[in-house]
Amino acid sequence: MSSPAHAFDEPKSFTAHWIATVLLIVAFVLGLLIFPPLYEAPTAEASSSVLFIGRFHPILLHLPVGALGLLCFMELLCVTRRGESKYGDAALLTLFVGSAGAVLAVLAGIMLSREGGYVGGNFTLHQSMGILGTAGVLLALVVRLLAMGRHSTELLQAYRALYFVSFGVMGLGAHFGGNMSHGSKFLTQHAPEPIKSQMISMEKWMLSFVEEPKPEKTEEKAPEPPKAVETAPTPASPAPVASGDKLVFQHIILPIFEAKCNKCHNEEKSKGDLRMDTYELTMQGGENGKNIVAGKPEESLSITRIMLPIDDDEGEHMPPEGKDQLTKEEIALLKWWIEQGASNTQKVDLSVIPADIKAAAEAIVKG
């Protein structure tokens, strides 16, 4: 037989591959030692170069997604001996590029987390599964190199299993990262019903491993702020908004926060350590406290930050420039609620909402 031997059968040297792989693993481990993953708010301020590199995380993560995604198809081609001899080298290279990308993305992600405000179940799962998946892919790289060096089909199969599982873990971890930047409902919102409930219960199940059981929403039982007044007479429109038992905070104020603020001030991402997804947390405030001072909009940090010019020199205007801004009416409603005592129990029905913002309030209550 004169047919040429397959490349797979020829002795090959993988020295350079081994060196690159070992260097990559060392870089990963060293990176994790220097920047250990944290699951609580960082205590010390990170240097600006660390924060600068961290911001590349959202770009870098596309590299492993692309390379390791492509590798799925390549590995399907490589399941036959012939495919392996044809595409094995290319698969190895793709695996290496994907692993290196994953290492970079993980390390940049950890640096990004040093900005603070990254806490909660989605973050915990995102970080843990990102690191675990990357470690798995690195191990897969080692096994593939061994398999190719020894021409072992068994090792190749073991490698493939390891790679697919690791890539799956990484993908799930990536999903929880997506929840952090786009909100937890982003993927499921438009999903067809049966899939939607499946996805949501899957997600809940996974989150239940890392989250404390959530207390039920704060609705009634929240304590009154010190100087809260039930209703305060304002000279404006006398006719109350007819809305049953709706509460001003729950049905007017919170929806404004949800729409304009809570992408960044929620349980998954609490920028400035501020969360405004419940009444207590809104009143508790963030790093600087005084988020809402009952009766005094001008002393309430949220209001002063909203009122700063959008191109404020310190970049302290809220919501940050480029994000969906509050309308005039929304600002007026927030101020009005604070003037009234920033209550959690004030009823929409019994409130006298000034005429110029009544329509806006009604629209929000109706949803």
Sites of contact with ligand HEC (CB under 6 A): 260-261, 263-265, 271-272, 274, 285-288, 291, 301-302, 305-306, 316, 318-320, 323, 326
If the CB atoms of residues 175 and 269 are measured against ligand HEC, the closer one turns out to be 269
CB 21, min distance to ligand HEC, A: 38
Please, are residues 301 and 288 in contact by the beta-carbon 8 Å criterion? yes
Helices and strands (DSSP H and E) totals, the chain: 14, 0
**Rg for the chain (alpha carbons), in Å?**
27
Is the CB of 334 or the CB of 348 nearer to ligand HEC? 334
Closest contact distance (angstroms) between CB of 243 and ligand HEC is 23
Listed in sequence order, the residues at least 6 apart from 156 whose beta carbon sits closer than 8 Å to its beta carbon are 78, 84, 144, 147, 148
**Closer of 129 and 306 to ligand HEC (Cβ):** 306
- With CB atoms as reference, the residue minimizing the distance to ligand HEC is 261
CA distances from 242 to 193, 247, 343, 351, 362 (A): 34, 12, 19, 10, 9
Output 287 or 362, the one with its CB closest to ligand HEC.
287
Report how far residue 347's alpha carbon sits from residue 367's, in angstroms, rounded to the nearest whole number: 17
Of 100 and 274, CB closest to ligand HEC:
274
Shortest distance, CB of residue 154 to ligand HEC, whole angstroms? Answer: 51
**Nearest approach, Cβ of 292 to ligand HEC (angstroms)?**
9
Backbone φ, ψ for residue 347 (5° rounding): -90, 140
Cα–Cα dist 125/123, whole Å: 5
- The least CB distance from residue 355 to ligand HEC, in Å, is 24
Residues 6+ positions from 289 with CB-CB distance below 8 Å? 301
How far is residue 206's CA from residue 58's CA, in Å, rounded to a whole number? 23
> Cβ of residue 301: shortest distance to ligand HEC, in angstroms?
4
- Choose between 55 and 204: whose C-beta lies nearer to ligand HEC: 55
